A and B are shown apart, each in its own frame.
Chain A
Amino acid sequence: MNVTRGFTGRPRVHNPGLPPGQYDAGDDWPVLSAEVTPDLAASDWTFRVDGLVERPQTWDWAAAHALPASSYEGDIHCVTSWSKFGVRFGGVSLDTFLAAVGPHASATHAVAYAHTGYTASLPLADLTGGRAWIAFEYDGRPLAAEHGGPARLLVPHLYFWKSAKWIAGLTLLDHDEPGFWEQNGYHARGNPWDEQRYSGD
């Protein structure tokens, strides 16, 4: 262990919800997107699921809101080391969208892409089973543009760069296709509990 002389750090809080190397950002919600925040009106927003599916489909704002509502209450973890506890997102479960398009048995991965062109790659298994959402609301209010509004992908059990802001669609594939950060040296899966920050972790 490489102890830093004179460093004591913050008072220790026993927090079993904090993955290794993360700290509690409290009320802060840092914004770290690499591109210009787009002016994207809810009326212009669409979400498409295609690729290895039976029935590719595109939803607009009204069609997505007609689907059964589903919410997430829990924690989120950013690869830059902050975690945020007890957040509340409202939206629609990705299972609902996937059930509508019927993924082929050969589909193993997905590329999530944003209306800005940002991409993130994910194993399909991380998007199913009630663990991923298309989120429109944060804390009961419309999701702010800088946090991905009008709608973002939400995959809270993975580092947050996977939760693509301004989500435009998912393309299902039979292989991993590295997205924006994955091409920039970040990990293919990004599980905070295994500290999968960078490729090679």
Chain B
Amino acid sequence: MTATTTARTAFVPPTRFAVPGRIDAGEAAVEWQTATLTEIRRETPRAATFRFAVPAWAGHLPGQHLMLRLTAADGYVAQRHYSIASAPDGSGHIELTLDHVEGGEVSGWFHTEARPGDQVQVRGPLSGFFAWPGDRPALLIGAGSGVVPLMSMVRHHRERRLSVPLRLLVSARGPRELIYADEYGTETTPVFTRTAPAGVPVGRMTAAHVAPLLAERPDGGWEAYVCGSNAFAEHASRLLVAAGQPVDRIRIERFG
């Protein structure tokens, strides 16, 4: 063949595209960088926030995550993904919030060994599809540590004094297990599945939690961000679809 006549128009699948990325992630951050632990803050009996100095951090958008790597003396490495909890603030610091997973290799090290001054490697920010640039109305639904990337959005919304609507529905076993409990404002509705303060109902998230939020119908419609365990993500995304949220306006980050 001497010349190709194939038009290089973008391929469009014949079905509705589910979730196009919100930003052009471009070349992912290729380099591993050293992150120095500067502070550990307890959030709940099982979760803590770890603050790191990452001087050359390229910045991120709320909702993005990174890859974190621990290296043993013999060269053995363990790497996991963690959502970024802090808002992009140009401070050269980022925060992660980790659940202590029973027998967990990486979260176990953080919760039993780590102390300020320790160094780990990070690579990121990663992935553009769960990112929220602060443009569209955001309906955020999370459970457990799934609230972490959503909190970055809430903090961003607050720090930049954005006027675009933002709502957070966050599920936890009880008030003691609710991560960032002191930070929520009127944008947030907690749902408690096991124990709740007097007068607050106990039970899993239902259509009744989702309906009033969808009824707000902000201009341009909600962009929904769902994050948590796979079981929770399945449950919450089905509630959204049943309530009329378009499937191509639902972004899901599953922690596996």
Contact = CB atoms under 8 A, between A and B. Distances in A.
A184 B128 contact: yes
B113 A7 contact: yes
A118 B15 CA distance: 9
Interface in B79-104: 79-81
B18 A200 contact: no
A109 to B, nearest CB: 10
Given A9-B105, A119-B13, A37 B237 contact: yes
B76 A36 contact: no
B241 interface: yes
Interface residues of B, number: 64
Contacts of A173: 6, 11
Interface residues of A, number: 53
Interface in B15-44: 15-21, 24-30, 32, 34
A47 interface: no
A159 to B, nearest CB: 14
A106 interface: yes
Which residue, B14, B18, B128, has most C-beta atoms of chain A within 10 A?
A: B18
A43 interface: no
A117 B79 contact: no
A111 B11 contact: yes
A7 B256 CA distance: 23
Interface string B95-123: 00000000001000100011000111100
Given A5-B118, A198-B30, A184 B25 contact: yes
A30 B238 contact: no
A4 B73 CA distance: 8
A178 B84 CA distance: 26
Contacts of B181: none
B10 interface: yes
B72 to A, nearest CB: 5
Contacts of A186: 28
B253 A30 contact: no
Closest 6 CB pairs of A and B: A30-B256, A185-B25, A198-B28, A35-B18, A117-B17, A113-B13
Interface of A: 1-10, 12, 21, 23, 28, 30-38, 80-82, 106, 111, 113-119, 146, 168-169, 171, 173-175, 177, 180, 183-186, 197-201
Given A6-B118, A35-B19, 16 more contacts: A2-B32, A4-B109, A4-B118, A6-B109, A7-B70, A12-B76, A30-B256, A32-B256, A34-B19, A36-B247, A115-B15, A118-B18, A173-B11, A177-B11, A184-B25, A199-B27
